[in-house]
Structure formats: structure tokens, C-alpha cells
Structure 1
Amino acid sequence: MKILNVLTLVLVIVGGLNWGLVGLLNFDLVAAISGTGLVLTRIIYVVVGLSAAWQIAPIVSALASNDTAAGHAR
């Protein structure tokens, strides 16, 4: 389970950096790598979105246990 948490966190970070590039430079790195309008691009966006949804659980768990760093198991 820890590997899945790390993997999804990395994907969320990559997605956030991609949105930063879109906002700052109007450059979509995912589309540039995988091709604009392709099914692969949409799959990548869906996987990143699902990763963000998955990361909700560690945050809620950390807040419930008064832990300051999401992902720490007690």
C-alpha cells in the first residue's frame, strides 16, 4: 500500500507541475510528450486525477490523527 501511496503522490506532483507550466508558459508537457488529442493523453490525465483522489485518504487520516505529515503510519 505504501508503494501505491508514493506512486500516486509522484503523479499528483507531476500533474501539479504540468498545470504550473500551463499557467505560466501556456505549455502542456503531457500533451507535448504524448500528443495532443490522443487517447493516451486523456488516459494520463485520468490516472493523475485518480491519483489525486487516492491521496485524499492519507490527508484525512493524518488530520484525524493530528499527524503533521500526510502518509505517516502510526
Structure 2
Amino acid sequence: MKTLDIVTAILLAVGGLNWGLVGLFDFNLVEFIFGQFPAIARLIYALVGGAAVYQLFQWKTLKQCCK
């Protein structure tokens, strides 16, 4: 696995856990950790979103490769 694949997978896992916490307990871990720095929290959200887009394109490429 490439380094970028690993980093994006970790970001997606962290983002998924955060959304799970928000949905189950109304607790936003990113806001809890970086609440005093809203620019950093927005950066984290943007990185998770970018990781999702990257993984979607990787999945599409992998899907075409295996046909």
C-alpha cells in the first residue's frame, strides 16, 4: 500500500468514528480537541473529505482493474 492510501484510510477511520460519536452520543471529538482553534477543526474536516474523494477514485480504479 502506498503511504497516501494508508493516510487516507486512517483519516476515514477517524472521521467515521467521529461521526459515530456524534450520532450516538452527540459528542464531536474534533470540536472537543480543537474547539479553541476552529481553523484547525475545519482543516481536519477538509482532510477527511479529501481522503473520501481520493478513496472513491481509488475504489473506482480498483473496480475497473479487477473486471
| TM-score using structure 1 length | 0.80
Give the ranges of 4+ consecutive aligned residues of structure 1 lying more than 3 Å apart after TM superposition.
Answer: none
The amino acid that maps onto 2:42 is R
- State the Cα RMSD in Å: 1.8
**Residue 41 (structure 1) aligned with residue 50 (structure 2):** no
Corresponding residue number in structure 1 for 2:11: 11
The alignment-based identity, stated in percent, is 42
Corresponding residue number in structure 2 for 1:58: 58
- In structure 2, how many angstroms separate the alpha carbons of the residues matched to 1:36 and 1:51? 24
- From the two aligned structures, give the one with the greater helix fraction: 2
Higher relative contact order (CA 8 A, sep 6+): 2
| TM-score using structure 2 length | 0.88
- Give the gaps of 5 or more residues in structure 1: 68-74
- Give the gaps of 5 or more residues in structure 2: none
- In structure 2, how many angstroms separate the alpha carbons of the residues matched to 1:43 and 1:65? 33
